[in-house]
Every structure is written in C-alpha cells, then in structure tokens.
Amino acid sequence: MIDNAVLKKILLEVEKPARYIGGEFNLPDTDKPCDERVCLCFADKYEVGMSNIGLRILYHMLNDTEGVVCERSFAPSVDMAAKLKEHGIKLFSLETRREFTEFDIVGFSIGFELAYTNVLYMMDLAGIPFYAKDRGEDYPLVVAGGPCMVNPAPILDFFDAILVGEGEVNLAGFVALHRKCKAEGLSKAEFLKRASELEGVYVTSVGGKVKRAVVKDLDKAYFPTKILVPSCDIVHDRSTLELFRGCANGCRFCQACFYYRPIRERKKDTLLKQAKELITNTGYEELSLSSLSTSDYSDLKGLVDGLKEEAEKENVKLALPSLRLDSFEAEIYEDTKGASLTFAPEAGTQRLRDVINKNVSDENILSSLTAALKHGVKNVKLYFMIGLPTETEEDLKGIVDIVKLVRKLHAEHGKSKIINITVSTAVFIPKPLTPFQWEEQISIEDMYAKQDYLKRELKLRNVKYSWHDAKASVIEAALARGDRRQSAVIKRAFETGCVFDSWNECFDYEKWIAAFEYCGIDPREYTGAIPTDKELAWDFIDNGVTKQYLLRERERAYQGITTPNCIGKCNGCGANKLGRCFE
C-alpha cells in the first residue's frame, strides 16, 4: 500500500504533480462492488494519453459495465520515476493508487512505434517481468492494443495477448470471458487458450492467425458523453465527436486509411445528441470533430450548421479540423475570419500526388486556397512528405512553388493584412498494410539533403518551416516493419536509457543503433526494399484489406494511375468482409 504522506512529499518535488493525483471531474465510481479490475495504461505522459479518444471510450465503457472497475496509469516523467525508485514505490493507478499486481488485467494502448520502450519503462516501474513467459499466476494478464497492432511482431513476446482492432469488441469480450473463467477457477493458461478463439484476440502462447475486430454499427456503439475533465492542461483539451471510422481516399503511404476500414459513419442526429450531452456534462469551451477525413462526412454542412447552433447557445467554440484541398467548402468557414486552416497536399507536384493517390489537383489547390484567403484566413499550415517513392528534385521544388503560390494568392485575394505560412515535412516511412509496405526508405543522408534544400528555399517572410527528425524516422521505420527478433533490441534500448523516444529531447539515435548492434541485427534489414513475394512479419493478421489489393495499388502507383475515392463505388480492397462500408 502506498504511503500517502511520502507520496505527498514526492508530488511537491516533481514537475506537474497533477499528472499523478487523479480525482478529475466526472470520475466514475471506482469503489463500486466488482469482481474484475482492469488498469488501462498509456505508454506516454498524462497529457498525451488523456487526449486519446480510444482510451477515453474504453475507460468509460468498462466502468459503465456492472461488476467491472477500470483505472488508468500513464508513463511518469523521468523526475517522477526517479522519486518512485528512490522511495521504493511501484507505479500505481491514478484512481485508487493500486499497484499493477492488484489488477486482473493490465492493458497497454500503443499508438506509435517509438513508444515501445515506454512500455518496458512502465513495466519496470511496476515491478512486472518484461516477458510473458516469466509471469506466472501471481501476475495480472498483460495485453496490448492500439494502432501499432497492425504489426505487433516486435513486441509480441512481452504480452500474454494482443488485441487487434477495435476495443469495444475485443477488449469487452476479453474482460467478459476472463470474469467467467475466473469464476470457474481456471488457470491463466486455460483462460488464454479460450481467449484465443475470441474475435480480434491473438494469444502469444497459442499462435495461429487472427482477424481484426471491428464495430459493425457506430450508431449502436458505446460512446461516452460524460467524460473525464483533467485537472491540468492536456494536448487536446476539449470535447471530441467521432464522426466516422475509416477513410475512402486510399493515399498509398497512409496506414491509418487502410487499417481503420471498413468505413462507418455515425448519423447526424446521433452526433448532434452526443454533442449536446458533451457540452452539458463537461463544461468544455471547445468541441472538435474527429475522423481521418472529415470532408468525406456525407452531410458535413448540415452537421456543422447543427453543431454551430448548439455551440453558440452554450458559448462553445466549434473547432474544425483540416479539410482536403479538393473539398474545401468556404461557406463552412464563413465565421472563421483570422483562423488557421490546415491543408495537406503531401507532395509538391501533380505527378507525385498521382503516385501516392492523393487525388488533389493543382486546380483544387488554387481554388481552395483562393476561397480560404477570400474569407479572411491569415494562417495557413501546409503538410508535405519527403522521400516518397519516385520523388525527384522537381517534386521537392514543387513544395516551394506551392508556398509561393499561397503568398501570391494572398496578395491578390487576401482580406487579412498579412499571411503566416507554416510548412511541415515528415519523412516517408514505409508502413505495414499500405501499398508502399515493400518500399525502401531513403538514406539518412538523402533526408538531410532534402531538408537542407527546403530550409534554404523557404527562408521567406512570414514563412516558418519545421521538419521531422531524420534519425527518429529511421528507427521508426525499422520498428514498423520489425519482427520478433526485435524484442531483444527494444529491451536493450530501454536498458541503456531509451525512454520517451517520441519526444525529440529524449530520443537517442546512437543508443538505438548500439542496441541493434548488440543484438546482432542490422536495422537496414527493415528499412530497405522488401521483395513482394517475401512472407511479412504481420501476415498472420487479417486486417481486412488484402495483400492482392495492396500490390495492385502499388503497381498503379508506379504507373502514375490514381484510384478514385471509394465512396459510392467499392474498389474491392477486401475490408467489406469485416463489416459493411457505407455507400
């Protein structure tokens, strides 16, 4: 049991103590009678994890289940971790300050490959052995879920089970089955054998294949509207509506587009009801919309009009996400004078946009930016990617040309006195479950050369340029297409001090390279081109979209042929077998 007097003393000595005290507004009843306790862990800091809509849904879903209590734990900052170790205190849950060993199930949500060492960091602080084979009946079941389960191979050995797909289905089923098996007195091994038959559950000790679990009907799916309101600032400190899941656009570099299929919408009336309840129950002053491509919502104008009416009554700001350049509807932004607008052309030329299937034309860019500037927009954010397959110097120059076009259009049509342009570039990372999953990542030298070119060319008035770290991109690519041998690399990297690798100030490239070398593995095995007939580490997972479809899209990419948006006409990707896409 944690000594509260000691903990109070520690909290006075660390940065942002509110991260560790719990007690937020709208906290569920964690003292209710229960026969199952679950601790949901997010492998990053409190302010990042509390912004995650998936964690929010699952936390409240479990706590709204009779007989189940769900608590939270986040990766503590290094100052807090040092104090915990100094005083012999194990990592605990926020709600009741229980140690991990007091829970039936400990579940990690992992959304980013560079968070892998943070999983071991939290396990170490909690006193839990890293490898599933080393955890007997005295330890809770340790499972993982989240977007990184597209390819969980590098971390498989750390977990008893991997939950592939949407937690409203597989986590709910996993918890329900465990309650039943526990009541029957079954062992951990006996339960896991049964759990391996559940939809979307892969049990490491059993093996085999697994099909991704999906919610069939979002209007009937659980969605919390009485959510926790944190006691300190978080990354996305607002209420969020989830419009739909999936994406119809098929950008060939984008893992999320294919992973979250099939495409399923919530009805406008459902969303308006949820919005009203969120505003009433939270007191948040801002409401945002969440989806991969908000522009594709079937009645976006009608929804926004309804939300604006409700928001204005309660003096709440409606925050609109970025729109695609081929579907900018100026009237939606009629009240956003002076606002920032975010567009993601991704590539600088029409040729390369066709290769990646961005389906955004030069005419779209011209007309959409003109409309935005005419409506008084004075801050424009542009997102691009460098190192894409077939990229040339001309494509790189095209990024600069688009920035200059914005400046020219503002001079001709802008209502604001000045235009501020922010340009961000990410490095292409070949990700599993994309048509480019077989491609080679460019060398780190090429990354630096392209970034240096843009730094020089974008030294323009009121233009700010930022770029993703090249070295971090290399390690992310290696882990994204990794295999089970990499668990040893991740363990070694953690042991040598790698934590919070997704934070630039903490990432240590040399330690990661040393960890690969220590384990006798060359990271270039994972960043180089992969033969299309080679078995892939993630082939044991059926994510819906077929390999045949991805290969066909890859071939079309090299031919410069685009594939239309699949709204209204199915392109045959295979996701329909998991659940019906809207048409």
One-letter amino acid of 57: I
Burial state string for 141-173 with b = 16 or more CB within 10 A and e = fewer than 16: bbbbbbebbbbbbbbbbbbbbbbbbbbbbbbbb
* DSSP symbol at 275: H
* DSSP symbol at 229: B
pLDDT at residue 46, rounded to an integer:
98
Among 513, 534, 539, 535, smallest CA distance to 524 is for 513
Dihedral in degrees, nearest 10, Cα atoms 418, 419, 420, 425: -160
Show the domains of the chain with their CATH numbers: 4-211 (3.40.50.280), 238-321+541-583 (3.30.750.210), 322-429+440-485+521-528 (3.80.30)
Interacting residues of 239 by C-beta distance below 8 A, sequence separation 6+: 227, 275, 278, 279, 282, 284, 286, 287, 288
Please tell me the pTM assigned to this model. Answer: 0.95
**Element of type H or E holding 309:** helix 300-313
One-letter amino acid of 245: R
Task: Cis check for the bond before 262: say yes or no (omega within 30 of 0).
Answer: yes
User: From CA 74, how far away is CA 190, in angstroms rounded?
Assistant: 30
| Three-state helix/strand/coil letters over 24-92 | CECCCCCCCCCCEEEEEEECCCHHHHCCCHHHHHHHHHHHCCCCEEEEEEECCCHHHHHHHHHCCCCCE
CB 250 within 8 A of CB 357: yes
pLDDT at residue 571, rounded to an integer:
93
Angle 525-526-528 (CA atoms, 0-180°, nearest 5)? Answer: 75
3-state secondary structure of 282: helix
pLDDT digit string (tens) for the chain, length 583 residues = 688 899 999 999 999 999 999 999 999 999 999 999 999 999 999 999 999 999 999 999 999 999 999 999 999 999 999 999 999 999 999 999 999 999 999 999 999 999 999 999 999 999 999 999 999 999 999 999 999 999 999 999 999 999 999 999 999 999 999 999 999 999 999 999 999 999 999 999 999 999 999 999 999 999 999 999 998 999 999 999 999 999 999 999 999 999 999 999 999 999 999 999 999 999 999 999 999 888 889 999 899 999 999 999 999 999 877 665 555 555 565 554 446 778 889 999 999 999 999 988 888 888 888 888 888 888 999 999 999 999 999 999 999 999 999 999 999 988 888 899 999 999 999 999 999 999 999 999 999 999 999 999 999 999 999 999 999 999 999 999 999 999 999 999 999 999 999 999 999 999 999 999 999 999 999 999 999 999 999 999 999 999 999 999 999 999 999 999 888 789 999 999 998 786 5
Environment class of 222 (CB within 10 Å of its CB; exposed 0-12, middle 13-18, buried 19+): middle
pLDDT at residue 336, rounded to an integer:
44
Angle 477-478-479 (CA atoms, 0-180°, nearest 5)? Answer: 90
Backbone angles phi, psi at 39, to 5 degrees: -115, 115
Start-to-end Cα distance in the chain: 55
User: From CA 42, how far away is CA 46, in angstroms rounded?
Assistant: 8
DSSP string, 156-223: GGG-SEEE-B-HHHHHHHHHHHHHHHHHTT--HHHHHHHHTTSTTEEETTT---EE-B--S-TTTS--
Give residue for tokens 């077929």: 546
| Three-state helix/strand/coil letters over 318-373 | EECCCCCCCCCCHHHHCCCCCCEEEEEEECCCHHHHHHCCCCCCHHHHHHHHHHHH
Q: Is the dihedral of CA 491, 487, 498, 43 positive or negative?
A: negative
Q: Give the C-alpha distances (Å, rounded to integers) separating 182 from 59, 100, 191.
A: 21, 18, 8
Q: How many CA atoms lie within 13 A of 180 on its CB side?
A: 11
What count of other Cβ atoms lies within 10 Å of the Cβ of residue 352? Answer: 24
What count of other Cβ atoms lies within 10 Å of the Cβ of residue 393? Answer: 9
Backbone angles phi, psi at 331, to 5 degrees: -65, -25
